[in-house]
Amino acid sequence: MIVRLRGEMAGLLLVALGGCATNSAKTDSSAAARKETTAAMNPLLAPWQGPWGGVPPFGKFKVSDLKPALEAAMAENLAEVDRIAADPAAPSFDNTIVAMERTGKALDRAGAIYGIYTSTMSDAEVQAIETEMSPKLAEFNDKIVQNSRLFARIAAVYEARARLGLNAEQQRLLWLDYTNFVRAGAKLDDAKKKRLGELNQQLAALYTRFSQNVLAEESTQMVLLDSEADLAGLPAPLRESAAAAAASHGKPGKWAVINTRSSVDPFLTWSTRRDLREKVWRMFTSRGDNGDAHDNNQIVADVLKLRAERATLLGYQTHAHWHLEDQMAKTPERAIELMEAVWKPAVARVREEVADMQAIADKEHAAIRIAPWDYHFYSEKVRKAKYDLDENDLKPYLQLEKLREGMFWVAGQLFGLRFTLVSDGSIPVYHPDVRVWEVTDAQGHHVGLWYFDPYARAGKTSGAWMNEYRRQSRVDDVPVIVSNNANFVKGKPGEAILISWDDARTLFHEFGHALHGLNSNVTYSSLAGTAVPRDYVEFPSQLVERWLYTRPVLDRFALHYQSGQPMPPELVQKVVRTEKFKQGYITVEYLASALVDMKLHLAGATPIDPRRFERETLSSLGMPSEIVMRHRIPHFGHIFSGDGYSAGYYSYLWSDTLSADAYEAFLEGAGPYDKAVAQRLRDDVFSVGNKVDPADGYRAFRGRDPSIGALMRKRGFPVPGGGAVSSDQKATH
């Protein structure tokens, strides 16, 4: 589950020009005329037209416009920065820091479209542009960071900060700008700056190749099912979606399991054909690791080598030490300490889960030992035996569109937000599957727009994520535009799309990121919404997941797709009681990836053979043989399609420590919909972006620092210093 943060297009290291609007006061008439001419020739450069501060101009440009738009926008941005750097006036907060906030408006617009197309509409033409532009964009970022006159002005303002009478938000912005420039090499000598630029460009090119290799295998590989015998065990809705998937891939009359988690996991859960489960599992877990033209192992080794050299160049022990310095964890050691505290009880829980599954397999005389492709299948049998809950009983109540309505309702209850579908055609979209809602507050004032792109298709990155097309800013006086993206298998027209419980949780998770962006209330877009440290950004989204389990959501929106009747109370109770079910598997498959990520980036300059490193590291950790990493190294896009989550996949656990503790604030009050707690949550977490230190923001909300106890209670693990937690504790919410 990835947040697509602005500035991460092509995995770039964006340092300081986070919020960008043209500094028109410093643009002479001839430059303005040139800009108007360029914008007229390329619609991607023109200010967005339409309601609410303008919307992306989908349908008014060609893919071939992307490259010249990016090139022109980068040139314009560099010119704007040069004007700031050459300003004869003494450096001040307004003429340097705020002026930087007002640069790069055209690049923001073109970059937003570029990011949308490379992640959701990535055909051969888009990929060719991405391959060419990734290193150029990296070079552009380095030109800004390495502008010595610009940095001298930033440093001068920073040194004088105590005398400037800045408010807290201004102080935060100044500190971030200065710190980000330093961390990105602004103080290096010319020779080191040159080498750093070379490293960043090489890395950008590798990130693009890595992503495109994974996308190629996800888009083209599938397991075709030829006969009724191949469908054994699959419920009717899953058969129908498999038929639709085959038809969409040019195989009408057959059924297909496509190479995306939303297709693979349901098959692994229900298919009674163990041979086909193994085949599907191997397809999915081998992405990027097939020894062919799309194999990513050498790319991974090259990325790690270059990152290690870059960290040394910047004066850090390892890439992990560099990356965590400005995160909440601060050091790799603190992140590892948290992960190891959870790892042992999680592995112990896996042992219990496997024993339960093996007992059922033995009772059924299956004559097998539980393997990774058996875990989902037999865990469902355990759920049925222990909790009398069958996913087949649950799934008919999990309609994608009804759950979307449930998310909107939760947003209204917690934050007073209202969502209205824009159906008059006034807002263009990039694909017919995409829909747009206007978001208003409790007083009916416009807040922003929410784009929803829920279905899998060729050229679309797998998984689910949130993206900010435009961040909120009072400097620019523009409302926010966000999107949620997923890869559900599209069914027949007019038919309800039924999703799994895990997919429903993911849906709420990504919507939590969207709410983080929509609630933003800051002055400077560099600080807006999700522009927070990685190990904090997942906190709001993981918190919003919890409302899926609440009775009002289940009673109102978990409606049977045929009868329209709500989920029976006894089934609701079973769902809530199983909130901690399978937490061993969920935690271990995630933590294995997070620990491998950290250890990869603590290895420094040691040459890495990815296959061997993965195998030996998991063995040293005591990884249960029945589970594989959630993201194996050759397709671990979080850490190898960009710098964002590299040495930072631990962030989900760090953030969940906060989310578990924060949810208990509601339970200690009047319950999940406590208005006073929700108001504090909005004021101190969802609206403040990065204008306050995240630790300070959390303490303002909670009144104290978080502890690991809430996280362990949430997952049903033994609490340090206290006993185990009942699986149905607080079951009624």
Nearest to 346 by CA among 580, 67, 9: 580
Residue 407 in contact with residue 507, Cβ under 8 Å?
yes
| Residue position matching structure tokens 């990016």 | 70
CA dist., res. 102 & res. 64, Å (int): 28
Bridge partners of 438, per DSSP, are: 420, 449
CA dist., res. 610 & res. 618, Å (int): 12
Bridge partners of 480, per DSSP, are: 448
CA dist., res. 580 & res. 716, Å (int): 6
Is residue 644 classed as helix, strand or coil in its secondary structure? coil
Kindly state the helix (H) or strand (E) to which residue 223 belongs, with its residue range: strand 222-225
CA dist., res. 33 & res. 727, Å (int): 67
Bridge partners of 481, per DSSP, are: 449, 470
The distance in angstroms from the start CA to the end CA of the chain is: 26
Bridge partners of 466, per DSSP, are: 3, 484
Nearest to 47 by CA among 114, 115, 109: 109
Bridge partners of 450, per DSSP, are: 437, 482
DSSP 729: T
CA dist., res. 160 & res. 619, Å (int): 53
- In single-letter form, the type of residue at position 100 comes to M
Our CA angle for 380, 383, 386, nearest 5°, is: 150
3-state secondary structure 430-484: CCCCCEEEEEECCCCCEEEEEEEEEECCCCCCCCCEEEEEECCECCCCECEEEEE
Is residue 566 classed as helix, strand or coil in its secondary structure? strand
- In single-letter form, the type of residue at position 709 comes to G
Q: Which two tokens stand for residue 405?
A: 């309505």
DSSP 91: P
CA distances from 621 to 338, 423, 593, 611, 627 (A): 15, 53, 11, 16, 13
Our CA angle for 547, 548, 552, nearest 5°, is: 75
Is residue 648 classed as helix, strand or coil in its secondary structure? coil
CA dist., res. 329 & res. 449, Å (int): 33
Catalytic residue among 510, 538, 545, 579: 510
| Residue position matching structure tokens 């190990």 | 535
Kindly state the helix (H) or strand (E) to which residue 486 belongs, with its residue range: strand 480-488
The yes-or-no answer on residue 71 being catalytic is: no
Is residue 302 classed as helix, strand or coil in its secondary structure? helix
CA dist., res. 464 & res. 460, Å (int): 10
Q: Which residues are catalytic?
A: 510
